[in-house]
C-alpha cells in the first residue's frame, strides 16, 4: 500500500472489525481465513511523519518503570526513513543526557476486538534499551491501567538476547495487577534483524509469536482467582523505544546513540 492511500484504509478499519454481517440471499459459502482490514508499509519520503492512523504519546521522564526518556513527535525521533520503514529513534545529547524517543499508537483510529495484529520489526540493542510492540484496552482512559488490560506482543531488554511476551490483567488488591508472561533465549538473533511479531486475539484466548513460532498462549483459566479477564473488548496498537528505569536499568557509554527501531510494516486482520 502506498503512502497516500493509508488514510482511507485507516478510516475504514474500525468499521471493518465491527463484526457486522451482510445477508447472502444466494447462499454462497463465505471465504475462510483472515481478512485484512488495515495495513501500513511506511512508503514515503525520508523525514515524513507516519500520518494516517498514527498518533503520538508525548511526555515522560518517569513514565512506566521510571524510564528516563521523554517522548516527542519530532521527526528526529519518529519519521519515515525513505526506504519503506518507520524509524523510532531514541537519542541523547553527546554526554548521553536529555534522552528523547517516541511512542506511536492507533488509539481511537485502528482498534480491533477479535483478530490478528502483526508487525515486521528490526529491534535495537544496547544497555538500557527497552523497545516494544504492545496493545492496550481501548477503555484505558475510562478505567485506567491495569484495568484496561495490556498485551505485550514483544519486548526486549538491553542486548535483546531474550524475548519477553505476555499480558497484564487487573487483580483485586494489587495496584499493578497480575502479570502472566513468557520469556527466554531468542531462537535466532533479534537485534538488527527483521522478524514478524504477532498476536492473535479471540474471545477467551490470546496467542503471541515470532515468525512461524508460537511463544505464548493465555486463557481465563490461567488467571489467579482474584484476577479478571478483560481482553474480549477492543484494543489499540503501540510501538515505542523506552530507555532506562527499573527495567532494564540505565543506559551507559556503550549504548548506541542514536538507537533505532525500524518497522517495515504493520497489519491488522479480522479472524
Which residues are annotated as catalytic?
Answer: 150, 155
> Phi then psi for 89, rounded to 5 degrees?
-120, 125
Determine the Cα–Cα distance for residues 25 and 23; give it in Å rounded to an integer.
Answer: 6
Edge-first strand listing for the sheet containing 100-101: 59-60, 70-71, 100-101
> Phi then psi for 21, rounded to 5 degrees?
-120, 145
> Phi then psi for 116, rounded to 5 degrees?
-125, 130
CA angle 14–146–125, rounded 5-degree value? 85
Contact at 8 Å (CB) between 165 and 215?
yes
Determine the Cα–Cα distance for residues 15 and 21; give it in Å rounded to an integer.
Answer: 11
Amino acid at each position: 500500500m502506498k503512502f497516500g492511500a493509508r488514510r482511507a484504509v485507516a478510516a475504514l478499519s474500525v468499521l471493518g472489525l465491527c463484526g457486522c454481517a451482510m445477508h447472502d440471499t444466494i447462499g454462497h459459502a463465505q471465504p475462510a481465513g483472515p481478512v485484512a482490514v488495515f495495513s501500513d508499509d511506511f512508503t514515503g519520503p525520508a523525514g515524513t511523519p507516519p500520518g494516517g492512523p498514527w498518533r503520538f504519546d508525548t511526555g515522560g521522564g518517569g513514565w512506566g518503570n521510571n524510564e528516563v526518556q521523554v517522548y516527542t513527535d519530532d521527526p528526529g525521533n519518529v519519521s519515515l526513513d525513505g526506504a519503506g520503514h518507520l524509524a523510532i529513534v531514541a537519542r541523547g545529547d553527546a554526554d548521553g543526557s536529555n534522552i528523547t524517543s517516541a511512542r506511536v499508537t492507533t488509539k481511537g483510529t485502528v482498534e480491533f476486538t477479535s483478530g490478528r495484529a502483526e508487525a515486521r520489526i528490526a529491534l535495537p540493542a544496547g544497555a538500557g534499551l527497552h523497545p516494544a510492540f504492545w496493545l492496550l484496552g481501548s477503555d484505558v482512559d475510562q478505567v485506567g491501567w491495569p484495568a484496561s488490560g495490556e498485551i505485550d506482543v514483544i519486548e526486549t531488554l538491553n542486548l535483546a538476547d531474550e524475548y519477553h511476551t505476555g499480558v497484564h490483567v487487573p487483580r483485586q488488591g494489587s495496584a499493578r495487577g497480575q502479570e502472566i508472561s513468557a520469556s527466554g533465549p531468542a531462537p535466532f538473533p533479534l537485534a538488527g534483524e527483521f522478524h514478524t511479531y504477532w498476536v492473535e486475539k479471540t474471545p477467551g484466548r490470546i496467542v503471541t509469536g515470532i515468525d512461524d513460532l508460537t511463544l505464548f498462549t493465555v486463557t481465563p483459566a490461567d488467571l489467579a482467582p482474584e484476577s479478571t479477564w478483560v481482553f474480549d473488548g477492543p484494543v489499540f496498537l503501540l510501538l515505542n523505544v523506552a530507555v532506562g528505569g527499573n527495567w532494564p536499568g540505565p543506559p551507559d557509554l556503550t549504548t548506541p546513540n542514536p538507537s533505532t527501531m525500524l518497522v517495515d510494516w504493520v497489519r491488522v486482520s479480522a479472524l
